[in-house]
Every structure is written in structure tokens, then in C-alpha cells.
Amino acid sequence: MGATPLGVLTLSDRKFCHDPHTGQTRRYSPEGLTMRLELVQMAARDGDSAYNLERVLRAIADSAPGSDIVMFPESSITGFLDHDNIARLAEPVDGASVQTICAAARQHDVAVVVGLIEREGERFYNTTLLITPEGVALTYRKTHLWVGEPGLVYPGDRFTTVQWRGVRIGLLICYDIEFPESACALAALGAQLILITDGNMEPYGHLHHTAVAARAQENQVFAAMVNRVGEGVGEVFAGGSSVVDPFGRRLFEAGAQESRHVVDLDLTQIAPSRALYDYRAEKRLKLAAAVTEHPDGRRELLIP
């Protein structure tokens, strides 16, 4: 059976202008610099990379005009794996599936946020990638493992951000957003936009409804979360994908069915959200870990 398409909601196009500071062609609204996110809330088949990859590629090809980033749920390439199949079905980040998505990102001039169960040597990780038209820009391994993951995958050991098209971006995965320190670490690394791939199921949907708004508001950043829908092995995924601005205001929230949505973020809203009070500057208890700057623009904070 072939993959089924998803519908798409598009918004009005923006004008394009040349940014003399970065040398890039950027999209501007009348209010200032924007970034266009496309959230693809979808079901997946656990352990069926061929089916899932076909749907991901079709969604990228069908992305709305002017989309900067197309986002998918947690582990959307491989689906979730278990002790019986992980050694056989986990994929390396430089494997065929990721390379195919890299080619699609390049062809359609969009960035793609997509996840998989990663194999590196004899170890496995729950990993999300930020793939730009230039290739894999950011690799993030889930640092907080949900019930059933310890002993199956290893936790990641760092938080990382990268700047792309003038916006510094960080990644989180599902359970990570229930820990305030995760988003705080990304904010300490300069994140303006936190992108969360999610595989949250009922009866816990309300937890991430609250958490994504809290993480955006307390760090005064934009946060976008894309969740899975449909049935898994003994569970029903909650959907409810959403985008929250730096004031903690919810810009959009999806239902519990497959859907896709386009949201334009006005990045100039970050400065006024911090004008009267800046939580990052005023907090008394700060993260102790040192920030590492890489030549390619990545910033990393290792977990002690």
C-alpha cells in the first residue's frame, strides 16, 4: 500500500529582500524579519522506514511556497523500535534515508527537522536532525529518556544550537521539554527558536500543551512542537502540535488528526519580550557548564 498524502494550509507569500549583513536573501513582512515554519503532524509506521520516508519526502515536495523549515514528529523516519528489531532497523545519520532527505532539502530549498532511531557503532540513540539545503546542520540526541527507552537507547550528552538564515535554532525531543533546564540550556546557547519533535501519547497530551508554552515564555523565545498522531503499539498519540511566541502566547494548536500548518514567526518580537524583564539576565541560579564555540557556528553545552 502506498503512502497517503497530507493536506496543506498555506498563508500569504512574503516579499524577498537582500540582507547586506549576512549576504542572504531573506523574507520580510512589513513588521520585520520572519521565518516560515511548516508543521507536518502525521502518523507513522513503527519499523517501516520505506513507508515513512516516502511520506516525509512527499510532504517536503508539497511544502508551502516560501517555507523555511518543514518539521516532522519524533523518530519519523524509522518510527519507534524495540529490543527485537533495533539492531536490524536503526539507521546511521549518514545513511541512505538521511541522504535522500538531504537531497530533497536541497532540491526544494527548505530545511527539514526529522528524527530517527540512530545507530552509531554498537550504540543506539533517539536522534533529531536539522537538515538544511547545505546538509546536516545540527544533530541532537535525546537527553531525557522516557519509560522504556533506558537500556534500549543511550541518552545524549549535550545541547547544541546553530544559526541558519539569521536565526539561532536549538532542538529538543519529546520528554526533554518536561525539564525546564533543557530549554534553558538552549537559551544559554543563544537559541531564538526551539524546535521540538514529539511522540507524546494519551493520556499525557495536556502535559506538553503546558510544557511547550512554559519553555517559550520562561526563556522568551519561540517554540514549535510537532507531535505524532494515530495508533502505535498499545498507545494513541496525542497530536496537539503547537507554536508559542516569546510572550507565552499560543500562535497555533492542531487537533488530533493528520494535518499540516504554516506559521510565520516575526523574530523582531523577541526583543520587546525582553525589554521590561529578561529572565536569562536576571535569574540567580545559572547553568554551570561552559559553552563551546565551533568554527561552523555551532554552540555546545556538555552535560556534566
Pairing of strands 32-41, 25-29: antiparallel
For residue 186, what pLDDT is reported? Answer: 98
Asked if residue 6 is part of any domain, the answer here is no
Q: Which of 11-20, 50-59, 142-151, 225-234 has the lowest mean pLDDT?
A: 11-20
The answer to whether residue 2 is domain-embedded is no
| pLDDT, mean of residues 78-97 | 98
**pTM score, two decimals?**
0.90
Residue 288 pLDDT grade (very low, low, confident, very high; cuts 50, 70, 90) = confident
State pLDDT tens for residues 143-181: 999 999 999 999 999 999 999 999 999 999 999 999 999
Distances (CA, A) of 197 to 176, 226, 241, 255, 287: 10, 5, 9, 16, 24
Q: What SS3 state is found at 91?
A: strand
CA distance 30 to 57: 32
Alpha helix positions (H), the chain: 49-61, 86-89, 96-108, 180-188, 205-219, 270-273, 279-282
Does residue 147 sit in helix, strand or coil?
coil
Catalytic residues: 74, 142, 174
**What CA–CA distance (Å, rounded) separates 300 from 48?**
33
The CATH number for 275's domain is 3.60.110.10
Helix (H) or strand (E) holding 38: strand 32-41
* Residue 1, in any domain of the structure: no
Instruction: Indicate the number of domains in the chain.
Output: 1
The Cα 177–Cα 230 span in angstroms is 21
Q: Is 200 part of a structural domain of the chain? A: yes
Q: Which domain holds residue 90?
A: 15-302
Residues of the chain with pLDDT > 90: what percent?
A: 84
